[in-house]
Amino acid sequence: MQVTIRKAEQLKALPDEANLGFGSIFTDHMFNIDYNPKEGWHNPRIEPYATISMDPATMVLHYGQGVFEGLKAYNTDTGNIQLFRPQENFKRLNSSCRRLCIPEIDEAFMLEALKQLLQLEKRWVPQAPDTSLYIRPTVIAMDPFLGVRASDTYRLYIILSPVGAYYAEGFNPIKIWVSADHVRAVRGGVGATKTVGNYAASLYAGQQAHEKGYAQVMWLDAIERRFVEEVGSMNIFFVIDNELITPELSGSILPGITRHSVIQLAKQWDLRITERKISIEEVIDAQQGGKLQEVFGSGTAAVISPVGEIGFADKLFTIADGKVGPMAQKFFDALTDIQYGKVEDTMNWIVSI
């Protein structure tokens, strides 16, 4: 398949790199490809960024048959533009597609198409420290139809958004709240996919957490309401008695690429790393016994997000001294050094465009 390119007649002015924020500025072009049962995925094209006009009955709007991905392009000191493990994102996009009855797409082709889009949009990859170009591949069900079934037609698009340094005010630990009333996902459901409805389902508990003065929700499993699953839209790690622990992938946890990278680095560094169930009682007991050394989240947006306090059952538990722990700092530095090309990529994680 050949990607056709139609360039924008007028290019936008580049934004101020000091005030990029997250996800509100978009580049000049986008990638589009369509699916129908007769032609399969067809007509791949890079076009000027534009609104999508759709029938009000379009299925994704009614039944949430849509999936997405999130990754970043980084500008190195030498002006190289590089991606972090992008093959994993397209692999996960296909696994989300399978679960949502959306036809899969050629992963190698998608990576090539993304590289072409980035070649054209190079000037949009910001250069200021810790900024990047966020990449959002999205697939949506396009049939105009109100019956409940899988759509026959789909659109896949990729949009790009320059984003600011996540820790512009410093790498500060956050306060998280354990939701007793709400769950994010249940085994057998769609929690392991990046499908649009998961984020709608998380908003209410998130709002409650904000009202109580917390930054994010810590999610427990939906069946026993005991085992820790994730924090906000990040995976979670604990350091207890010098052991690094992360919940095992149970079917309701999103298999994060940052999570996987932390595990691989931990193994490389000969740390004690365990993927297993960990209950909130175990976490609280460890805190009470002075053995809870660190808690941190992992995800593409923040890379590593240290947790300073946990609100559970109307009590507030402080982790160690409430400051950034050495493990969180070490993983953050190691991952960002690889992403920004400051060190040699011995893990073979980087793809240059």
Binding site for ligand PLP (CB under 6 A): 70, 194, 230, 233-235, 254, 256-259, 298-300
User: Which residue, 35 or 68, is less far from ligand PLP as judged by CB?
Assistant: 68
- How distant is the alpha carbon of residue 72 from its chain centre? 10
Give the residue from 193, 37, 35, 188 showing the smallest Cα distance to 100. 193
User: Which residue, 216 or 258, is less far from ligand PLP as judged by CB?
Assistant: 258
Q: How far is the CB of 259 from ligand PLP (least distance, A)?
A: 6
User: Which residue, 35 or 84, is less far from ligand PLP as judged by CB?
Assistant: 84
Instruction: List all residues 6 or more positions away from 170 whose beta carbon is below 8 Å from its beta carbon.
Output: none
User: Which residue, 139 or 234, is less far from ligand PLP as judged by CB?
Assistant: 234
User: Which residue, 142 or 217, is less far from ligand PLP as judged by CB?
Assistant: 217
Q: How far is the CB of 228 from ligand PLP (least distance, A)?
A: 13
Q: How far is the CB of 82 from ligand PLP (least distance, A)?
A: 17
Q: How far is the CB of 272 from ligand PLP (least distance, A)?
A: 22
Q: How far is the CB of 202 from ligand PLP (least distance, A)?
A: 8
Q: How far is the CB of 254 from ligand PLP (least distance, A)?
A: 4
Look up residue 84 and give its two tokens: 């972090």
Q: How far is the CB of 47 from ligand PLP (least distance, A)?
A: 27
Q: Strands 66-68, 132-141: parallel, antiparallel or unpaired by DSSP?
A: antiparallel
Phi and psi at residue 54, to the nearest 5°: -140, 155
Q: Strands 216-220, 154-163: parallel, antiparallel or unpaired by DSSP?
A: unpaired
Instruction: List all residues 6 or more positions away from 74 whose beta carbon is below 8 Å from its beta carbon.
Output: 81, 82, 83, 84, 125, 132, 133, 339, 340, 341
Q: How far is the CB of 340 from ligand PLP (least distance, A)?
A: 17
| In contact, 290 and 283? CB cutoff 8 Å | no
User: Which residue, 175 or 259, is less far from ligand PLP as judged by CB?
Assistant: 259
Look at the alpha carbons of 217, 220, 226, 229 in this order and tell me if their dihedral is positive or negative: negative
Spatial separation of the C-alpha atoms in residues 226 and 259, rounded to whole Å: 21
Give the residue from 335, 223, 327 showing the smallest Cα distance to 273. 327
User: Which residue, 204 or 322, is less far from ligand PLP as judged by CB?
Assistant: 204
User: Which residue, 20 or 93, is less far from ligand PLP as judged by CB?
Assistant: 93
CA dihedral 345→346→347→352, nearest 10 degrees, is: 30
Q: Strands 174-178, 303-312: parallel, antiparallel or unpaired by DSSP?
A: parallel
